[in-house]
Chains A and B, each alone.
Chain A
Amino acid sequence: MGTGTILEVRGLEKHFGGLYALSGLDMEVRSGEIVSVIGPNGAGKSTLFNVVTGIYEPDAGDIRYEGVSIVGLRPHQVVKLGIARTFQSVRLFANMTILENAMVGQHCRSRGGVFGAILRTPGVRAEEERIRERAREALGFFGKRLSGYRLEQPAFSLSYANRRRLEMARALATDPKLLLLDEPTAGMNPRETLELRDHIVRMRDELGVTVIVIEHDMRVVKGVSDRVIACDYGQKIAEGTYEEVAHDERVIEAYLGTKAAG
């Protein structure tokens, strides 16, 4: 686990018409950290993820990943560099099996082409076996919940919590160095939420993945974060440990409104 900066965001701006989703956001994430991004609805958290992963192109500012700018790259190129993500609204390939969903994650780490696929060369067969193995391993991260008989079941047959887990497993199957989790516990019951909290820590400790997590559940934020970044109106308004940020006046104001307004 290195200690260098893995992700550096400088003066990031993204507008949708007149709406400033991001207006000059700065942040830095060091390798091996778990950083939580919090903020009220509409603070620009998901937009941040969408810009970092190449779904949107920023209007201004720079994003450096391992010291190299990744602005303007397409999403699939960003994944290949080692940044994987999950979505706030779970987005699985519903009619593919659970194993296949995870195997899609390995796509960017494999290269079998048309002729290899048609002739099924030994190289392609070995690669396919490796993809399958790696996908099983990623699913195995969540214990028995996504393995065994479930491997061959279509993703739509999963419960809500398992869909979220599968989405994370699929992201882990891309062999990421940096993982962006967008509200991973949304819609989970308290017990599942606590279980997931442990999983996030394990992703860092056992897999060595740096994690940025957008989260509303403060128990999770408190439990996992090395550092918390609070945003509002597309800008960073506070940064520090959970305790520091939780007692920051601007953060309280952003969540509860000013005293005069309240």
Chain B
Amino acid sequence: MARRWLRIGIPAGIVTIFLALVGLIGGFTDVYLIGDQISFAGLMLVLPAFVAGLVAAAPRVEGGERHEMRISEAAVAAAVAGAAAGATFALAAVLADWIGDERIRTVFLNVTPALMEFVTFGLATAIGALAVVAVSALAGVLGGVLRVAPASIRRPVTAAVIATLLFGFLQRVIPIALDQLSLERDWLYSPQFDGLTWIGALVVATVAAGISVLSTRFGTRLRGRLAGVTGVGGPMISPARVIAGVVALALLIAAPLLLGSVISEVLGTVMVFALLGIGLNIVVGYAGLLDLGYVFFFALGAYSLALLTGATLNAFGIPPEPVISGSLNFYVAIPIVMAIAAAAGVLVGAPVLRLRGDYLALVTLGLGEMVTVLVGSPWLVPLVGGPSGMRGITDAAIGGLAFRDPQRFYYLALAFVGLAAFVSWRLAASRIGRAWTAMREDEQTADAMGISTTRFKLLAFSIGGAIGSLGGALFAVKIGSLTPASFQVLVSIQVLGLVILGGMGSIPGVIVGALVLVGLPGLLREFEEYRFLAYGAAVVAIMVLRPQGLVPNVRRSRELQDEERAQDEWAKAAEEGETPPEIAPANGATT
């Protein structure tokens, strides 16, 4: 038993050490979430111990049976795991103190005296180390007790904690919205420390817990009633989803007005990535073709729009003349850009048609890399300006109304995202979407059932490419100038990451994925350098914990539930000594 708890606790301690070494603790001692007591660094220090407690209190499965832990058992297990995490970290701290932080700093730059002081709570090292163990054990116990608490307690507490943390993280966003609405904000966010005030935190937590309790108690009944009244709520669309959709849409439309231009700038980027995500989702999510070179279409869209709308080379000594004379209006150029990208989709798709899975991924990765090299190469300087790029790209004005301003650009991008989402949704629900799904499930069988896999693969590449090029074109409008630095292979990875995070095949998932992966790091500038660390962690966590994504495709999640239900019935029937329903259906076998 104790060995199991140590096996959970020690890695958690190592995670804490890692967080400290990469600077996620030392760099954030004065980013406060609540008051001036709970800082982001403090959260990072105890979070691994908390998670260790959660895991240690998980029900054990022995001989196919689940054993839920009693609260006392769970508390002990979680305390041991948490303390083990704390002890591991404390040991490292003591060791670091013994070696001397200035010597460690030659390798690990983030081990500063400030960090050392923070992790020992400003006490003498030995006492501080003991304090770390105690605090970690306490965090572990909290995690463990939460795990085994009955749902009526666990759900509201979880909701309260998550809401409070979210409000804490959004300390640059929500106050601006409150200001815009001319609402009093000082009670919620401390003007001195930026984070939530204790009163504010208490209010947020109470409200979140209250909503959680209400929705558990009345949610089911309300759902039934709503379904009865509106007729909405078949197997496909639950009323909760409809309400969530309407609220989300309203927020998306109101966001730039509430949040001002600095955050609108970030949201504009989010929308560009959402557009890329919707495009890649067709290729990866619908057709099941793993494309790691999606940056190709992003670059193609950006540069072809720039050329068509009369951008100039960004170089010394060359008079600023359009590369291609006779520049087009943005709205005339867009269909042409998309047509070029669709054609390019066929060209890229054709050579890789026979490849599957890993091989397809590798080849597309190579194709994507070629784009970065090509647009930066001396060979193409006369066309796209090489490393120094292009400038003077259209601002997509209609009449006198230009769209470079972050708030206006957001709406332009949102309109295109809406359009792309609509197209994507209609395609998925059609004969074409069905053919893609069949192909994703089993390519050879799809072929044997009459689906031309060549045609539908090329179609996916081409439509996905056209939508991706739209993302590129909008990006060009947003920035106003282009350099190869914007078209690195990381773009492909980022877009794939947001598609996976949101849930493959799900359009709302793509938008949530873009908000989380592109929006959050953009909103918290301090975290900019940890963006890819967070990406990696998020993708790994999703693949392990929730492979269907944050907002899974409706049909797929329904299938998962159905499977469980079918298994339940089966098991119940078997228990009662009857033949399971599938083998002898109630309607009687006719022989």
Q: Answer whether residue B591 sits at the interface, using C-beta atoms and an 8 A cutoff.
A: yes
Is A79 a contact partner of B437 (Cβ separation < 8 A)? Answer: no
Is B447 a contact partner of A75 (Cβ separation < 8 A)? Answer: yes
Interface-located stretch among A112-120, A201-209, A239-247: A112-120
Q: Answer whether residue B235 sits at the interface, using C-beta atoms and an 8 A cutoff.
A: yes
Interface-located stretch among A32-40, A64-72, A148-156, A214-222: A148-156
Q: Answer whether residue B76 sits at the interface, using C-beta atoms and an 8 A cutoff.
A: no
Is B450 a contact partner of A105 (Cβ separation < 8 A)? Answer: yes
Which of A84, A110, A117, A191 is the one whose CB lies under 8 Å from B427?
Answer: A117
Is A79 a contact partner of B450 (Cβ separation < 8 A)? Answer: yes
Is B563 a contact partner of A156 (Cβ separation < 8 A)? Answer: yes
Known contacts A74-B452, A93-B437: A117-B235 contact under CB 8 Å:
no
- Chain B residues contacting A250 (CB-CB under 8 Å) are none
Is A112 a contact partner of B430 (Cβ separation < 8 A)? Answer: yes
Is A114 a contact partner of B452 (Cβ separation < 8 A)? Answer: no
Which of B434, B441, B450 is the one whose CB lies under 8 Å from A80?
Answer: B450
The proximity string for A residues 96-140 relative to B, scoring 1 for CB distances below 8 Å and 0 otherwise, is 100010011101101011101111100010011001000000000
Within 8 A of A (CB), among B321-340: none
Chain B, residue nearest A119 (CB): B426
A85 CA to B562 CA, complexed, in Å: 29
Chain B, residue nearest A105 (CB): B449
Is B431 a contact partner of A131 (Cβ separation < 8 A)? Answer: yes
Within 8 A of A (CB), among B419-440: 422-423, 426-427, 429-435, 437-438
Q: Answer whether residue B485 sits at the interface, using C-beta atoms and an 8 A cutoff.
A: no
Which of A91, A105, A154, A191 is the one whose CB lies under 8 Å from B559?
Answer: A154
Is A114 a contact partner of B463 (Cβ separation < 8 A)? Answer: yes
- Chain A residues contacting B433 (CB-CB under 8 Å) are 117
Q: Which of B444, B449, B590 has the most chain A CB atoms closer than 10 A to its own CB?
A: B449
Q: Answer whether residue A15 sits at the interface, using C-beta atoms and an 8 A cutoff.
A: no
A143 CA to B591 CA, complexed, in Å: 12
**Chain A nearest CB, measured from B295 CB (Å):** 24
Known contacts A118-B426, A144-B585, A159-B582: A112-B432 contact under CB 8 Å:
yes
Within 8 A of A (CB), among B390-441: 422-423, 426-427, 429-435, 437-438, 441
> Number of B residues contacting the other chain (C-beta, 8 Å)?
40
Within 8 A of B (CB), among A149-192: 152-154, 156-159, 162, 170-171, 174, 191
Known contacts A154-B562, A156-B563: A144-B587 contact under CB 8 Å:
yes
The proximity string for B residues 576-589 relative to A, scoring 1 for CB distances below 8 Å and 0 otherwise, is 00000011010101
Known contacts A152-B235, A159-B582: A103-B450 contact under CB 8 Å:
no
Q: What DSSP secondary structure best describes chain B's contact surface?
A: helix
**Chain A nearest CB, measured from B381 CB (Å):** 37
**Chain B nearest CB, measured from A141 CB (Å):** 13
Is B430 a contact partner of A104 (Cβ separation < 8 A)? Answer: no
**Chain B nearest CB, measured from A239 CB (Å):** 27
Is A75 a contact partner of B431 (Cβ separation < 8 A)? Answer: no
Which of B422, B432, B450, B566 is the one whose CB lies under 8 Å from A114?
Answer: B432
- Chain B residues contacting A152 (CB-CB under 8 Å) are 235
Is A124 a contact partner of B563 (Cβ separation < 8 A)? Answer: no
A119 CA to B423 CA, complexed, in Å: 9
Chain B, residue nearest A159 (CB): B582
Which of B427, B431, B442, B587 is the one whose CB lies under 8 Å from A118?
Answer: B427
A143 CA to B585 CA, complexed, in Å: 12
Is B590 a contact partner of A191 (Cβ separation < 8 A)? Answer: no
- Chain B residues contacting A96 (CB-CB under 8 Å) are 434, 437-438, 441
Q: What DSSP secondary structure best describes chain A's contact surface?
A: helix
Is A107 a contact partner of B451 (Cβ separation < 8 A)? Answer: yes
Which of B426, B566, B583, B591 is the one whose CB lies under 8 Å from A195?
Answer: B591
**Chain B nearest CB, measured from A101 CB (Å):** 8
Is B582 a contact partner of A76 (Cβ separation < 8 A)? Answer: no
**Chain B nearest CB, measured from A183 CB (Å):** 16
Q: Which of A80, A127, A143, A144 has the most chain B CB atoms closer than 10 A to its own CB?
A: A144
Which of B450, B563, B587, B589 is the one whose CB lies under 8 Å from A154?
Answer: B563
> Number of A residues contacting the other chain (C-beta, 8 Å)?
52
Which of B423, B448, B566 is the one whose CB lies under 8 Å from A157?
Answer: B566
Q: Answer whether residue B445 sits at the interface, using C-beta atoms and an 8 A cutoff.
A: yes
Which of B429, B442, B589, B590 is the one whose CB lies under 8 Å from A91?
Answer: B442
Q: Answer whether residue B21 sits at the interface, using C-beta atoms and an 8 A cutoff.
A: no
Is B450 a contact partner of A107 (Cβ separation < 8 A)? Answer: yes
Is A143 a contact partner of B447 (Cβ separation < 8 A)? Answer: no
A144 CA to B63 CA, complexed, in Å: 38
- Chain B residues contacting A20 (CB-CB under 8 Å) are none
A118 CA to B433 CA, complexed, in Å: 11
Known contacts A110-B431, A114-B432: A93-B445 contact under CB 8 Å:
yes
**Chain A nearest CB, measured from B86 CB (Å):** 44
**Chain B nearest CB, measured from A199 CB (Å):** 11
Known contacts A85-B448, A95-B559: A114-B438 contact under CB 8 Å:
no
**Chain B nearest CB, measured from A143 CB (Å):** 7
Is B451 a contact partner of A55 (Cβ separation < 8 A)? Answer: no
A49 CA to B255 CA, complexed, in Å: 60
Q: Answer whether residue B208 sits at the interface, using C-beta atoms and an 8 A cutoff.
A: no
Is A143 a contact partner of B590 (Cβ separation < 8 A)? Answer: yes
Known contacts A76-B447, A154-B562, A159-B582: A114-B431 contact under CB 8 Å:
no
A120 CA to B444 CA, complexed, in Å: 29
A158 CA to B585 CA, complexed, in Å: 12
Q: Answer whether residue A53 sits at the interface, using C-beta atoms and an 8 A cutoff.
A: yes
Known contacts A157-B563, A174-B449: A104-B434 contact under CB 8 Å:
yes
Q: Answer whether residue A1 sits at the interface, using C-beta atoms and an 8 A cutoff.
A: no
- Chain A residues contacting B589 (CB-CB under 8 Å) are 191, 195
Chain B, residue nearest A53 (CB): B448
Q: Answer whether residue B446 sits at the interface, using C-beta atoms and an 8 A cutoff.
A: yes
Q: Answer whether residue A27 sits at the interface, using C-beta atoms and an 8 A cutoff.
A: no
Q: Answer whether residue A94 sits at the interface, using C-beta atoms and an 8 A cutoff.
A: yes
Is A170 a contact partner of B432 (Cβ separation < 8 A)? Answer: no
Which of B431, B432, B562 is the one whose CB lies under 8 Å from A153?
Answer: B562
A118 CA to B582 CA, complexed, in Å: 39
Is A93 a contact partner of B563 (Cβ separation < 8 A)? Answer: no
- Chain A residues contacting B582 (CB-CB under 8 Å) are 158-159, 162
Is A118 a contact partner of B423 (Cβ separation < 8 A)? Answer: yes
Q: Answer whether residue B225 sits at the interface, using C-beta atoms and an 8 A cutoff.
A: no
A198 CA to B19 CA, complexed, in Å: 68
Within 8 A of A (CB), among B441-472: 441-442, 444-453, 459, 463
A194 CA to B434 CA, complexed, in Å: 34
Which of B446, B587, B590 is the one whose CB lies under 8 Å from A104?
Answer: B446
Is B452 a contact partner of A100 (Cβ separation < 8 A)? Answer: no
Is A93 a contact partner of B441 (Cβ separation < 8 A)? Answer: yes
A232 CA to B448 CA, complexed, in Å: 26
Known contacts A117-B431, A195-B589: A93-B438 contact under CB 8 Å:
yes
Chain A residues near B (Cβ < 8 Å): 53, 55, 74-76, 79-80, 84-85, 87, 91-96, 100, 103-105, 107-108, 110, 112-114, 116-120, 124, 127-128, 131, 143-145, 152-154, 156-159, 162, 170-171, 174, 191, 194-195
8 pairs, A vs B, C-beta closer than 8 Å: A55-B444, A80-B450, A93-B441, A110-B431, A128-B431, A154-B559, A170-B449, A195-B589
Q: Which 10 A-B pairs have the closest CB atoms?
A: A108-B450, A117-B430, A79-B450, A159-B582, A93-B441, A154-B559, A91-B445, A75-B447, A75-B448, A157-B566
In the complex, besides A76-B448, A108-B451, 16 extra interface pairs with C-beta distance below 8 angstroms are: A55-B447, A76-B447, A76-B450, A87-B445, A91-B445, A93-B437, A93-B441, A93-B446, A107-B434, A107-B449, A114-B427, A117-B431, A124-B430, A127-B431, A144-B585, A153-B562
